[in-house]
Amino acid sequence: MPAGRVVLITGASRGFGAAAARLIAARGNTVVATMRNPQRDAPAVREGLEARIEATALDVTHPDEVRAAVAAALARHGRLDAVVNNAGYGLFGPVEEATDTEIWRQLDTNLLGQWRVLSAALPAMRSACRGKIVNVSSLAGRVPGPFLGHYAASKHAVEAMSESLRFETAGSGVEVCVVEPGMYASDWQTTNLDVSTPLREGRSAYAAAPRALAAFRAQAATRPGSASVGAALADVVHLEQRLPLRWPVGNDSVQMTALRLASTDEQWRFLLRAGALGPFRRWMFDDAAGSAQAAIDHDWSAPQVVLVTGASRGFGEAAARECALRGHTVVATMRNPGRDGARVRQGLDERVHVLPLDVTDEQSVALAVSQAVARFGRVDVLVNNAGYGLYGPVEELTEGEVRRQLDTNVLGQVRLLRAVLPHMRERRTGKIVNVSSVSGVVPSPLMGFYAASKHAVEAMSEALADEVEPWGLQVCVLQPGMYRSDWQTASLDLSQTVRHGRSRFQPGVERMLGEFRARAASRPGSEAVAAAVADIVQLQQPVPLRWPVGDDAIRAIRARRATPDGDWERRMLAAGWCFRSAEARPAPLPAV
């Protein structure tokens, strides 16, 4: 890429974005520095570099503004050589206590904001057969922690979306790189840190949360400023060699990510508790110990009350029936009991009780849980199973499609947690089973937002496990591999462009979709997943944080964690995880 690049940066008003804008401009490039309030913030960012930095108003949560800003930059400069997707902020607070509005704002900025910008810029880059998409993630995109569950979920989702997109752009001349800063002293931890409402108002049910917030800010104050991240972003823009998939920045990001990948969940918690990692999250266990009370003894071999979402078919139906066959009382929830309830209850009418529930409707969730508690006095186990897959190229998805995917697979689980956890905390016993997928660890092309949603579930669940431990509650993430079910047929949602044959990658999409469904048809049914759920319900020992199911899930998750990105990418490209040259139509010229 020659000198004099044109680089668009989001969130350039301060912090990482401002540092990167100034350094990239100082190296002789033209920078389109976007920010929500240029009148207030642009003079400081442009000072001494006015000829190289142009400020543009942009709120990445507004799709029309994103399209207009990218189109204006293309019209003015004729190209975009790089996009640095930096805009973002953090939400601090317990997973249970964040509102839908707070979670959506976090996802809308940190994840969908990046997706909107890259989707607007990619057609011009594909036409030019060159360009760089640089998505800013975080150490939290690889290492979740308590009270930052929703922030970590958004950054885990960025990692998954970016890895999927990298395969989808392979061979196009467009490169995708994820930059992963560790902790730095900036307004991220002060003015830009959003604190969930109960914690901000001093009424959080989590006694450790206020001290955790103070400890987080105190630790951030000891960290360096944004210069290292700005330099890394400038280096990514200028690098002549092929970009790596991931670019960690800072000693903590480099060291902690490698150590986390090399450690089992149990080993990682031991290292944290023992203080072997120094002050890194050591406060978490000090505060948790200070607020913990012994959980009551609970006999998990006795009949339990198990609430299962998405129980109309597939994993949910099989799990509901298996739990009932083992003597448990099952509340099988589904959107259409009149259509599906009789089949799920067949032969188990005394043990399976059907309730209507739409996980995307908070009132429906609250009503179903209150009815279950009123009838049976408790919910011992929540199986957060409802979900579906969205299939199609990342850059061709619509706002409605990606929001529906996140609303069901991520916020759907959070809504159930908010409804069930107060009862479990009061009784000081309970299990949460959040259904993820092999895609929660291993992203693949054409399923970028499904993988993003499941990566978010993984991060949120790991944070939640630490947060609810003082009440004796347990969290387990179920990671099924591929099984033969309607997940790959009736429940697989094809994007509009694919469904109507309008994708510019239609031949490649149809090839990979055919291969996907053929593999699914060769897999076993849902019995193994159902048995795993029932085993988790009955396990008397503490449940593990993660429970992979299926030979493919066990092998793929283990291999992905142990294999460097470059080696993994070469292996998967050789296996056909990309569009062939004859499978992509010419990129449309951008509208300018």
E strands, 486-564, are: 492-494, 546-549
- Taking the CA of residue 73 as centre, how many other CA atoms within 13 Å lie in the half-sphere pointing to its CB? 32
Say which residue, 22 or 292, is predicted with more confidence.
22
Average pLDDT taken over every residue of the chain: 93
Q: 293 or 425: whose pLDDT is higher? A: 425
Specify if 166 maps to a domain.
yes
User: Residues 39-65: what's their mean pLDDT?
Assistant: 97
Q: Give the torsion through C-alpha atoms of 515, 584, 571, 559, to 10 deg.
A: -60
The reported pLDDT for the residue numbered 223 is 86
DSSP category for residue 563: S
239 within some domain: yes
Quote the CA–CA distance of 418 and 269 in Å, as a whole number.
25
Among 138, 450, 461, 483, the active-site one is 450
Which residues have a Cβ under 8 Å from the Cβ of 81 and sit 6 or more positions away?
1, 5, 6, 7, 130, 131, 132, 237
H-type helices in 312-447, by residue range?
A: 314-325, 337-345, 362-376, 399-406, 412-427
3-state secondary structure of 249: strand
What Rg value do the Cα atoms of the chain yield, rounded?
A: 24
312 catalytic residue (yes or no): yes
Q: Rounded mean pLDDT of 436-463? A: 98
b/e sequence 290-322, b meaning 16+ C-beta within 10 Å: eeeeebeebebeeebbbbbbbbbbbbbbbbbbb
Rounded Cα distance, 373 and 147, in Å: 27
Residue 492 belongs to a domain: no
- What's the rounded Cα separation, in Å, for the pair 241 and 248? 17
Let me know if residue 387 belongs to a domain.
no
If one counts every other C-beta atom within 10 angstroms of the C-beta of residue 327, the result is: 12
Burial class of residue 232 (count of CB atoms within 10 Å of its CB; 0-12, 13-18, 19+): buried
Q: Is the pTM of the predicted complex or chain greater than 0.85?
A: yes
CA atoms within 13 A on the CB side of 378: 14
Is the per-residue pLDDT at 199 higher than 60? yes
**Is residue 227 very low, low, confident or very high in pLDDT (cuts 50, 70, 90)?**
very high
pLDDT, tens digit, for every residue of 348-394? 999 999 999 999 999 999 999 999 999 999 999 999 999 999 999 99
**Is 253 an annotated catalytic residue?**
no
Residue 497 lies in a domain: no
Query: pLDDT confidence of 290, banded at 50, 70, 90?
Result: very low
In a domain, 398, yes or no: no
How far apart are alpha carbons 239 and 322 in whole angstroms?
55
* pLDDT for the residue numbered 584: 80
Check if 454 is active-site. Answer: yes
> CA–CA separation, 203 vs 177, rounded Å?
41
Query: To the nearest whole percent, how much of the chain has pLDDT over 90?
Result: 85
Residues 6+ apart with CB under 8 A from 169: 122, 126, 133, 175, 176
Q: Which residues are bridge partners to 35 per DSSP?
A: 57
Distance CA 30, CA 76 (A): 11
- pLDDT band for 255, please (50, 70, 90 cuts): very high
CA distance 456 to 408: 12
What pLDDT sits at residue 296?
A: 62
The CA-atom distances, in angstroms, between 402 and each of 16, 203, 393 are 27, 33, 11
pLDDT at 587: 65
Q: Are 542 and 431 in contact (CB under 8 A)?
A: no
**Both structure tokens of 576:** 């056909």
* pLDDT surpasses 50 at 1: no
Residues 55-83 pLDDT 10s: 999 999 999 999 999 999 999 999 999 99
Q: Which of 162, 196, 436, 461 is catalytic?
A: 436
Given pLDDT bands bounded at 50, 70 and 90, which one contains residue 192?
Answer: confident
CB 333 within 8 A of CB 360: no
Q: Is 132 a catalytic residue?
A: no
Tell me whether residue 592 is in a domain. Answer: no
Asked whether residue 120 is domain-assigned, the answer is yes
| Most confident segment among 3-12, 219-228, 489-498 | 3-12
Cβ neighbours for 562, distance < 8 A, ≥ 6 positions apart: 261
Mean pLDDT of 97-105: 97
pLDDT at 306: 98
Q: Choosing from 13, 186, 226, 312, which is the catalytic residue?
A: 312
Other C-beta atoms closer than 10 Å to the C-beta of 37 total 11
Tens digits of residue pLDDT in 323-335: 999 999 999 999 9
Please state, in angstroms and rounded to a whole number, the distance separating the CA atoms of residues 119 and 395: 5
Determine which one of 439, 454, 461, 483 is catalytic: 454
Instruction: Tell me the backbone φ, ψ of residue 203, rounded to 5 degrees.
Output: -130, 25
Q: How many domains does the chain have?
A: 1
Q: Output the domain CATH number for residue 91.
A: 3.40.50.720
291 pLDDT more than 50: no
Helix (H) or strand (E) holding 157, with range, is helix 149-168
Name the residue range of residue 190's domain: 6-252
